[in-house]
Each structure stands twice: as C-alpha cells, then as structure tokens.
C-alpha cells in the first residue's frame, strides 16, 4: 500500500527543520516513509490525501502510561500518590478482572489516544496480585486490533509495602501489618521467568508491539530483581522502565533505606544507562541530574499527574541542560484522567512558567513537541525508527485539519499545536504505513460496540472497586501520617511551589 499526502504543511521534527513548519508532500510506501518535501513529479500512490489546509506531524508518543487505571478515570480527587495508590490499586485483595475486561480497558485508552494523534504507548501494566500470560496477552491483542505501536510491560513490586515506605513499619496497626506480612512477594527469578516467557510469546507482535521489563522502583524492588530486569533489558535491546523520585515520600525513603538518593543508588548498582527510562524524576538533586545526564538516561515528565497528585514540579530545564533526554507521558488514567498527549503538552508547556521569574527557564513549544515525539522515541529505543517524518523511518503520523477553531486565526503553528489544539482537529492517523483513523473514525475496530460492552460491565467492575476500597481504607490514616512527616522533613530541596509550604492541619 502506498499513500501520498500532497501539498500539506509539515512539522517533521527532522534535523533540517526541527519543529519549523514547511510545505511539501509525504510519500509512504509499505510500512515506511519513502519521501518528504517538495516534488514536481507526482508519484503513483494507492491513496492520495489532499494536503491543502492540513498539517502533518509525527505520531505523538505517550512515554509513560498505566492503562490498568482506566476503570478509575475520574474517580479520585485531591489525594497524594501514596494515599491515592491505596485506593486505586489496593494493598490487600485483588480485583476480579477477566481477560475480556482487560482487553476492553486497554482498547478504551488506545481508541481515545489514537483518535487524538497518539501512535505510541509505553504502557506500564500492573495487575494484582501478578500478571499472567493471559492478562498481558489481552493488552497486546487490544493494541494489535486498534492499531497502536507500543511497549507493554511486565511491572513488578517485590518488597512488602512497609519495607518500601519510610515510617510505615512503625505506623501500621498490628492487624494490618500481619495481613501485609502474610503476602508472599515474587522473587527476582520469578520475574525473570515471567519476562522470558512474555518476551518469547508476544514481543514483535503485529510488527509494532514489544515487551518491556518494568520493575516498579528501587525502593519497591530488591537489588537482585532490579539487576535481573536491567540484564534482561540490555540482553534483548529493550527499554528498562522504572519510577524514581515521584514523591517526597520516596525521596525521604531512599535516604532511610540506602543512605543516599535513589538515583545515586541506581548509579552505584550500574543501573543507569542508555536503556534506562525514569518516570517522574521530581525530587532530584543537582547531583542526581548530573548522573542521569552522564548516563544518557531518559526522564518521562508526567505534567498532569504531578499536578493532580501534588507530587511537585519536575526540574525539566535543569534536566535538559544536563543532557538528559526528556519525554512526556500522561501517567495512569486515574492520575491524569486522560491518555491524550495534547492535554499533556499544553500542561507541560505552561506549568514551568511558575517555577522561575526567569523566562529563559521556561519550556518553549518546540521543546515540548520534541519531548512528545523524538524524546519519547529515544526513551523507547526507537529514535532511528519513529519520532520524526524522515525517509526510511516508520510511517507513524497524524494529519490535522487547520480549518478548525483551534487553528483559526493561524499564527505560529507550533504554538497552536501545544497551546490551542486539544486533539479534535485530528482527522487521519497512520501507524506503520496503515491508516488507523480515517476522517476521525477508527478503521479497524467498532468503537461504539466496544464502549457499549465496557459500559455493560461497569456495574460489576464498580462493585469490585468499592469492595477493594473498603478493604484498603484502613491504610489511609497511617499513610497520611507518613505523607505529613515526609512533607515536613528537610532534605535540602523543595519541588513544591515556594508559596506552598505545608500547613497542618487543613481546615476542611
């Protein structure tokens, strides 16, 4: 199949133009881009898309998302990470989900995202108590069907909760502690075996889906497990995806567990390398930032989630200055309430303007677009394959109508993309040379039927959520006390706005 997009405005993110728009044609042959630019000759193509009034951009890369939270979209408000996790994921008990529910959950996110120009998910999948080949297979099947490109993780936690959160061993009432202590976490060998099996079974599916090892974080996983995941990632050319320093609780915990920052701990174990992607990186010290830059690591900035959970402000300018690769993610569907990258880009482009009166410190629209395309591609080790519109790369792109209100009147295209567009101008989305969204409609699945099926299951899913929340609510008071103590602990850095020093107790 060949596709010719004729006479469009293009933001290619290629080395020659960067985010600077230009006019031209794009020829796609099979799965790849054959040509980009002005051409007098009109090549033969199976499908010609007139480009007048259209804008073509590389497919947007959501470099950190947890689609398992999709059933809890819009469910919580004003809860910090540790408290929110207790209700959204639970500590005790496990949700009763069938593979079909997991399929629908993944498809819901993929359909929403792809219709708004997202072509890639780095999807970190956490199932309780453990993932199986069947449950992770349901996610692969959903993205194969909807048409996304993706990395899909085996996520793992193998430390008991009170051993991964500072103060909690002292604060948990005896009955809760006994219940948590009775849970048997997986071993490093268990996780390595899971990775081997899932990789052999699913990696490479549909020519666009890959497996990814994702140990939850260096305070939630043992050293042997972190090492095993890193070895597996490097041996198979896969991203090593983890969470570091999302919350101040994690920063205080790192010092308590290891006597150093969690980034320093990773560095000393040899776990910071080009394959390493760190989600969040909010509570980083200057030394942490230098170590990440030297190792050519990626940090995924989750702007919406960091605001929603009150996690803090990621020092993005300092990361860029240190040579760290910056990508953007939505984070889970319950902490940003959306998988859409236009929402994430707008937030990331604005939130840092309050971190310094020095406007040279703020992110520009072109930098935001880079993070949402090439930055994401580097993070998933695919910068030679996706992230920009260049001959030889995979044909992953979105075509937007510039006659919408979002682009009228038209000034600087980059600013419109980051600050005006919300995804509703996206008409056509191509992934791996195949049209997955055509005229705003999904071409491979029946969106209405899948959403109806999901809605029909929601009473059962909601009853299950309420059962788990009731079981886990007793953990909230001790975790709130952990949050309060950590907020008041001086660790030499502050990633909350300087006008927002904690005041206790709140009067509501």
List residues binding Zn ion (CB under 5 A).
279, 331
Choose between 244 and 381: whose C-beta lies nearer to Zn ion. Answer: 244
CA angle 267, 269, 275 (to 5 degrees): 65
Query: Shortest CA distance to 312 belongs to which of 106, 108, 486?
Result: 486
Choose between 14 and 69: whose C-beta lies nearer to Zn ion. Answer: 69
What six digits make up the tokens of 357?
């009166």
Report, in Å, the least distance between residue 314 CB and Zn ion: 13
Report, in Å, the least distance between residue 351 CB and Zn ion: 18
| 445: enclosing H helix or E strand | none
Q: Most distant CA pair in the chain: distance in Å? A: 77
CA angle 120, 212, 139 (to 5 degrees): 60
End-to-end CA distance of the chain: 61
Beta-strand relationship, 149-156 and 209-215: parallel
Choose between 9 and 164: whose C-beta lies nearer to Zn ion. Answer: 164
Choose between 338 and 388: whose C-beta lies nearer to Zn ion. Answer: 338
DSSP letter, residue 217? -
Report, in Å, the least distance between residue 173 CB and Zn ion: 28
Give φ, ψ of 266 to 5 degrees.
-60, -45
Report, in Å, the least distance between residue 156 CB and Zn ion: 13
Report, in Å, the least distance between residue 126 CB and Zn ion: 9
Helix (H, G, I), strand (E, B) or coil at 38: coil
Cα–Cα dist 347/362, whole Å: 12
Choose between 297 and 437: whose C-beta lies nearer to Zn ion. Answer: 297
Report, in Å, the least distance between residue 280 CB and Zn ion: 7
Choose between 277 and 432: whose C-beta lies nearer to Zn ion. Answer: 277
Choose between 11 and 341: whose C-beta lies nearer to Zn ion. Answer: 341
Cα dist. 166→84, 162, 226, 244, 324 in Å?
17, 7, 20, 15, 29
Cα–Cα dist 299/306, whole Å: 14
Report, in Å, the least distance between residue 483 CB and Zn ion: 18
């Amino acid at each position: 199949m060949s596709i010719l997009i004729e006479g469009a405005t293009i933001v290619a993110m290629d080395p020659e133009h960067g985010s600077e728009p230009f006019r031209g044609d794009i020829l796609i042959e099979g799965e790849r881009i054959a040509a980009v630019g002005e051409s007098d000759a009109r090549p033969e193509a199976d499908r010609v898309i007139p480009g007048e009034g259209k804008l073509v951009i590389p497919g947007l890369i959501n470099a950190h998302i947890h689609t398992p939270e999709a059933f809890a979209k819009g469910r919580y408000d004003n809860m910090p990470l540790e408290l929110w996790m207790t209700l959204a994921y639970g500590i005790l008990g496990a949700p009763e989900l069938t593979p079909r529910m997991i399929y629908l959950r993944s498809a819901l996110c993929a359909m929403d995202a792809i219709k708004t120009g997202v072509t890639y998910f780095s999807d970190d999948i956490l199932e309780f108590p453990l993932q199986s080949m069947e449950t992770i297979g349901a996610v692969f099947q959903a993205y194969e069907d909807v048409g996304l490109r993706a990395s899909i993780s085996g996520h793992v936690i193998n430390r008991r909760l009170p051993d991964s959160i500072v103060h909690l061993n002292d604060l948990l009432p005896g009955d809760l502690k006994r219940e948590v202590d009775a849970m048997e976490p997986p071993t490093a060998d268990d996780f390595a075996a899971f990775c081997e099996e899932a990789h052999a079974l699913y990696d490479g599916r549909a020519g666009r889906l890959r497996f990814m090892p994702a140990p939850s974080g260096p305070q939630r996983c043992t050293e042997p497990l972190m090492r095993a995941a890193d070895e597996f990632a490097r041996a198979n050319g896969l991203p090593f995806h983890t969470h570091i320093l999302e919350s101040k609780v994690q920063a205080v915990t790192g010092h308590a567990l290891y006597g150093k920052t969690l980034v320093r701990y990773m560095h000393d174990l040899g776990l910071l390398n080009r394959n390493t992607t760190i989600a969040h990186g909010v509570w980083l010290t200057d030394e942490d930032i230098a170590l990440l830059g030297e190792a050519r690591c990626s940090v995924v900035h989750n702007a919406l989630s960091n605001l929603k959970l009150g996690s803090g402000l990621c020092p993005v300018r300092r990361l860029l200055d240190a040579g760290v690769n910056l990508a953007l993610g939505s984070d889970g569907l319950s902490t940003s309430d959306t998988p859409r990258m236009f929402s994430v880009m707008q937030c990331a482009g604005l939130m840092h303007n309050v971190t310094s009166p020095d406007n040279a410190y703020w992110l520009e629209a072109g930098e935001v677009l880079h993070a949402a395309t090439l930055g994401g591609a580097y993070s998933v080790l695919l910068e030679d394959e996706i992230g920009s519109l260049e001959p030889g790369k995979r044909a992953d792109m979105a075509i937007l109508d510039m006659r919408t209100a979002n682009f009228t009147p038209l000034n600087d295209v980059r600013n419109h993309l980051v600050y005006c567009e919300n995804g509703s101008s996206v008409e056509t989305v191509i992934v791996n040379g195949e049209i997955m969204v055509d005229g705003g409609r999904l071409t491979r699945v029946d969106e209405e039927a899948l959403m109806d099926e999901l809605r029909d299951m929601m009473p059962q899913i909601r009853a299950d959520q309420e059962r788990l929340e009731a079981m886990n609510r007793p953990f909230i008071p001790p975790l709130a006390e952990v949050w309060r103590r950590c907020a008041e602990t001086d660790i030499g850095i502050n990633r909350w706005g300087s006008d927002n020093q904690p005041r206790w107790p709140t009067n509501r």
